[in-house]
Amino acid sequence: MDVDIAVVGSLNHDLTVVAPNLPSPGETVLGSNHYWDNGGKGANQAVASARLGANVAMFGRVGDDEHGASLFDGLTQEGIDTAGVGIDHEKRTGLAVITVDDEAENTIVVSPGANSALTADHLKPFRSAIADAKVLLAQLEVPTEAVARAVEICQGAICLNPAPAQALPIGLFERIDVLIPNRSELAALADVAIPTNRDETLEAISGLPATGAVVVTLGSDGAVVVENGKATSVPAHPVAAIDPTGAGDAFCGALAFALSRDRDLLEATKWAVAVGALATTRRGAQTAMPTADEVETFLNG
């Protein structure tokens, strides 16, 4: 199929525990519920884009285990091309352990597993699919060398969600068309304190290495778009949030979808803010991703 969006990133098995509060160091907290879900930033963003109507190809790695099989099945059911998802016979499928509290705040610990075994060589057989995609969407839960190779190959728009934040080669920064960090990732990349307001956010952006446009996700405060030296705030949609786990990934997948449909960045961000907000009203990661019809109903309701 013609690829709208090529996603190079992680695939994880998620274990989520719902608790009244997030535990402090050394504290044991009794949870009220727990559940499993297919996850991983890459796979989440792929599902978000596909559910909105994009043709998506996923590139990553899972273990030869039941969780890897579940991730394959989930992506296939969403119509996502999984030819680029390899099976690792030495490492298990990645695992994310998530705690969500009554205030819809969360903590996440990820054991990368097979994600850490993705290399640039694994992408060689899929060079044409990545090169011809309208949008490349990548994150940093897989080795940087694989992301850098995908960026080198891609001829379309390049979107990077720098999560978890880490130092990146300047050459990689220079190829990014849209950088999509949250507050803490922006702070880590710019080596500053986490910004608490618009002015601090813009100052942090000014401290980044050379890159294209920047879209900072601000949770319940919406987002801010900086493009061609102009900053524009995009307000959030008030919702009764219960789980933020997949919200950032929903945002990234929606932004990539909108860009693949030739929407300008500001319009794409407004759409993505709505998609991210809607995702917080549901439990889980991939299970929380809305369809295009659901987003339209939400916007027009």
Q: What positions carry a catalytic annotation?
A: 249
> What DSSP string describes 165-221?
-----HHHHHH-SEE--BHHHHHHHHTSPPP-SHHHHHHHHHTSPS-SEEEEE-GGG
Whose tokens are 């850098």? That residue is 148
Is residue 85 within 8 Å of residue 75, measured between CB atoms? yes
Run of H or E including 16: strand 12-18
The reply to whether omega before 20 is within 30° of 0 (cis) is no
Cα angle: 58, vertex 61, 63; to 5 degrees: 135
Pairing of strands 33-39, 12-18: antiparallel
d(CA 129, CA 90) in angstroms, rounded, equals: 27
Torsion sign, CA atoms 185, 187, 188, 190: positive
> What tokens does 143 get?
């080795």
Q: In what order do the strands lie in the sheet with 33-39?
A: 33-39, 12-18, 94-100, 106-111
> What tokens does 104 get?
């819809």
